Structure 1
């Protein structure tokens, strides 16, 4: 091993960090308003009933997806990284046999690397034979005229032209057929002001107006153009496509809730224009070449909700966890839109899926109301068999739901300006559904310990419950307008299944199945909270799991599906974990899955957030079909205090976003100096990784 990496012995874990999930306390405060320290907003009584159903017939096995017969290439790029030693813990050596199976030692295409050992290094650690570089970091230029980053003398006008803070989703839109040139779109989820300014400059209780405006400019998204180096990773080049989208950028509200009385404010009496986007977490690149981005933890930015006296309005605010009293960032002091009593509808203008057209720097970004309002982790597209567009999205909070939208109109192939406009408009009319998951095992076999039921898997069937379509509501007591704006409450009434923080959800382009990361839920089974069920089978679920489902007849328009858990994450040496049936002594430990992606061979790649096993977060590859299904292999780790976000995996390179490095430290005593090293303070950044050329 190299540097200050540590070995991993199954069953002997490092001490937990300050938060149950492994996150630093600072991350919890600034990223999500410390929501895990508060009661989960879902106090509805729609208890899951699937496990009381006895004697259901087992569904058939999933159809094995054909593995793409493509030539394996190199991967791609980041600098400031460290290469892992060839020494691999015994748990990761060799190849499996039996149920999960093993393929006689043959490497699985796309996962033919030596796993990285779990570690606590302040570096991006990658496998032997691979190289990396930093593509872009907080403060680097994005648009023409951007000044050089100066941490000691920041201004809002400079930040509005520079790469924003805490990068999350990374989307790559190809600009040639050879894979050399891309538009790269990056979300900037949140700001951590105590980490952004030099010692002595920032007072948490009394931020200056300029510091607040810097925060506004550091949110949103960045668009840059990148090219592949001849023998390496990605590099940003000056381009007319360079663009920053911030909390001051005008968004068009589209779809059935545009103009709603619940969206009108004094600044926008029409309810059709919103200033800015925030808390953009994960996202997805559409088949027509735009980017969908989910607005997630917006609740923490709004103040004084307790002063709202109308009981109906107060219930709506409570269901979304809107803050009481002053906020951490104190934005309400400088703009009344963040003060709920003064602008009660402003909060309803966030929590949507937004769409960006990177190919048109002058386009107005859109908020799509037909996809519902909740804490969207992401939004990803699959085309139905009859040519319509299905969009999958998870609501990232404890005991929240999984949703699907299916358009009324049909998709037109291509990425031309006409195709982009046509297909974007499809997201404004269709049907919004919420998921109900039913287990096929007796309730007595789901005991909360993670022990597999008698049939050997956590699995079952499910259905999509319609919530709303156009101006027709399917939920008793809710108008269509109310379903779109207060989607969580409508889903409660419809009886959806409470899940363990559903985050990124993406369709596998090779086998056609859908995969969802369920990060964790330490409240599962606690007193007064929802108990275990087959899709969420562990009490106090601190390590999370990965859900896989197949729509009936493989059609994304279907209202029925069959599901199973591919992974039940954690220490493979413990009895409560499961790796698709693959031998547990031959997998990498994995905790708190967050984002998912796929390589050209259909392997699932998982990034983690809040590793509860005491080591750094990372990126993992796992085959979804064949004898090595479930063989988790760790590809990289990120620096101290960081989260792994936004993975992209092509045949030639990998990109990841390194979010909040060193966030457990302080400006006076930083715990990380990544990516610039020395005595420099940490900066969030995008990294690319590729295989060395011979």
Structure 2
């Protein structure tokens, strides 16, 4: 999520609740910004690729298919002209209150917010009068990251394309739509425990068993596997921070257990068949009235008021959102409760009795998602994640132990090294270890005058550790994707309106458009510390953009605020956008959209346009690539019961509802 539009509330204004939830910038380090590094290249070097890119030609010029692990000189390869890989008619920009896809395709809404999936299977009430208990048995609000697990993929893999588990995140809520007449608030405080419980239950994750019926239509299966995981679900903590003093609370005096996951944005999935949900803009759910906040709160932007005011109600289930020091020690209050969030949570979708696990070795920050490098038997496991806030960082995790199919499990995510990226102006880059046993890290801490007691404290303060080693500030790192053939890593940098100095690669002050960066690891197993990087695409209007070949984007491909990323099995990159504010309501881009880019040819085409006010986010497919699942989040954003800004997907007079969209070809063939 990247809400760059007008702020609805001041985070520190105690009289106002229900802001847009965007995380406030909290990086005050003097680390170099990515644009300062790119700015050291002349525009001629950028466009001709004459900078020492070590095999990656800048701005998407032809990439060799051979790995660059040896660091040798690139040789020109003459390849036959590939066949058309984007064989569909581009969808024009527009602002309809519906889903638009190319001719020959069908888009059908599926499992919208409030769909009954478990327990008593309570039906959705059009007036939003469902109870908190009902909401705990229905799909949550604001669908986001998602993955389809074939029903035969319990230990990873699986080939069934007609039956599986669809697992999806629910990032946040629109309280004015969740309740019949909006939330009850008096003097800036919540007055209904039932309403707040419903809001808590609308967050989290849904596990939904789905299958195609005899007519070829997808349906929800009443199944014991169906499950809701909410912001109140019991969870355990694992990894280096487990049991740390900074995780001890009144609920968990030992610092080993916690409750709930929230603001779940993008996702990941493991080679052994589990789901990873990622906690993004979680800091605004908490409040603290303390002054002189400890670094593990201050560096993450906690304020004196919370986003939804859950902390203003009495009772332990709500008081945990108040991080104010109230007792003689941490186990007497919830001063450390915010330290339980900002992690990646592993969920076994095939076992409804399993307890979700927060994997602390992967670091604590505003995780947008988690993507894995190609897994290789007998080699370490490697994965990447972005910290979705202005001027934050890109991270890589390398497991200590090796991956073995059929034997490895989540313990690979408990012991390993977390790295942060430094991008250099010559097109090279390095991964900097955030490891208390690493000599360079200890030296950097000494120079900076920063002390960590142990590795658990390093990971609880991941952002500070990254500041210390001199990581490169980035323009809102969001989703990532790894090319299935080349192994190149792509990440969206959605936008950064705080920029004041233009440079060659981003020739715009106050960059509202964003871009996509990519890199190639110089080690074949992705576990090394060196890489080469370039810019794949600069988003923007035709007059201010560059496609993968260094040409301006055209009418069929203009976009802004790239966010979601996904590679299909044939190596095409699907790009989803998250515009907001004036960028969404006016200008050349229309509603948020989904495009397809071919890294081989540099062609980019718009495949889908979403309804009014919605973000297009979350994407997965069946193994046969005949069904594509895409999520539509917050249609009619800003709506109230008396002022509906969208009525998608149910039609006139009905509240807008986030939903999954099933996309198929009318002829039943593969999507592309």
CA distance in 1, matches of 2:480, 2:337: 28
CA shift for structure 1 position 207: 4.2
Judge conservation of contact 1:292–1:353 (CA < 8 Å) in 2.
yes
Match of 2:392 in 1: 400
> What residue number does 1:187 align with?
169
| Distance across 1 between alignment mates of 2:10 and 2:650 | 21
| Match in the other structure for 2:142 | 166
Matched, 1:157 2:133: yes
Aligned to 1:107: 84
1:610-634 Cα shifts (integer Å, max 9, x gaps): 1634511011100012xx22x2211
Q: Structure 1 residues 470, 370: closer, same or farther in 2, change over 3 A?
A: farther
**1:411 matched to which residue of 2?**
403
Rounded to whole Å, the distance in 2 between the matches of 1:264 and 1:159 is 30
Secondary structure at the residue paired with 1:657? strand
Structure 2 residue aligned with 1:41: 26
Give the corresponding residue for 1:3. none
Shift of 1:652: 1.0
Counterpart contact for 2:176–2:183, Cα < 8 Å: no
For residues 233 and 7 of structure 2, the distance between their equivalents in structure 1, rounded to whole angstroms, comes to 31
Deviation for aligned residue 1:196? 1.4
Q: Distance in 2 between matches of 1:619 and 1:358?
A: 27
Matched, 1:333 2:313: yes
Q: Is the 8 A contact 2:295 2:461 kept in 1?
A: no
Deviations 1:51-93 (A, max 9, x none): 6878973422375449xxxxxxxxxxxxxxxxxxxxxxxxxxx
Give the alignment partner of residue 360 of structure 1, picking from 351, 357, 372.
351
Spell out the pairing of 1:51-66 with structure 2 (5 A cutoff).
57-61=52-56, 63-65=63-65
Determine the structure 2 residue equivalent to 1:606: 575
Distance 1:287 1:621, change over 3 A: same
Aligned counterpart, 1:692: 666
| Cα deviation digits, residues 316-340 of structure 1 (max 9, x gap) | 3221011223544344324211111
Distance 1:577 1:53, change over 3 A: closer
TM-score (norm 2): 0.84
Residue 298 of structure 1 corresponds to 282
d(CA) in 1 for partners of 2:28 and 2:9? 27
SS in 1 for 2:338: helix
Q: Is the 8 A contact 1:394 1:402 kept in 2?
A: yes
1:467 aligns with 2:434: yes
Matched, 1:657 2:631: yes
Does residue 1:438 correspond to 2:424, yes or no? yes
Deviation at 1:23, TM superposition (A): 7.5
For residues 515 and 31 of structure 1, the distance between their equivalents in structure 2, rounded to whole angstroms, comes to: 31
Matches of 2:20 and 2:341, distance apart in 1 = 14
In structure 1, C-alpha distance between the alignment counterparts of 2:230 and 2:184, rounded to whole Å: 21
Match of 2:60 in 1: none
Describe the shift of the 1:213–1:575 C-alpha distance in structure 2 as closer, same or farther (beyond 3 A). closer
Q: Is the 8 A contact 2:211 2:218 kept in 1?
A: yes
| Stretch deviating more after TM superposition (485-494 or 381-390) | 381-390
Q: 1:64 to 1:190 in 2, by over 3 A?
A: same
Measure, in 2, the Cα distance between the counterparts of 1:256 and 1:20: 33
Q: 1:388 aligns with which of 363, 371, 380?
A: 380
Of residues 476, 482, 487, the one that matches 1:507 is 482
Residue 538 of structure 1 and its aligned partner are, at CA, apart by 4.0
Paired with 2:258 and 2:290, the residues of 1 have a C-alpha distance of: 22
Is the contact between residue 295 and residue 351 of structure 1 (CA under 8 Å) also seen in structure 2?
yes
Paired residue for 2:615?
Answer: 643
1:540 aligns with 2:510: yes
> Counterparts of 2:9 and 2:635 in 1: how far apart (Å)?
11
CA distance in 2, matches of 1:620, 1:350: 32
- Taking the aligned partners of 2:3 and 2:403, their CA distance within structure 1 comes to 44
- The C-alpha deviation readout for 1:555-575, integer Å capped at 9, x for no partner, is 31011001111110011x214
CA distance in 1, matches of 2:182, 2:144: 28
Structure 1 residues 470 and 409, CA gap change in structure 2 (3 angstroms)? farther
Separation (CA, whole Å) in 2 of partners of 1:344 and 1:648: 38
CA deviation profile, 1:271-307 (whole Å, cap 9, x unmatched): 010111111100112111111111011111111x3x3
- Deviation of 1:666 after TM superposition, in Å, equals 2.3
With structure 1 as the length reference, what TM-score do the two structures score? 0.81
| Contact 1:308-1:314 at 8 Å conserved across structures | no
Deviation at 1:365, TM superposition (A): 0.6
RMSD of aligned Cα (Å):
2.9
Gaps spanning 5+ residues in structure 1: where? 1-18, 67-100, 441-459, 526-530
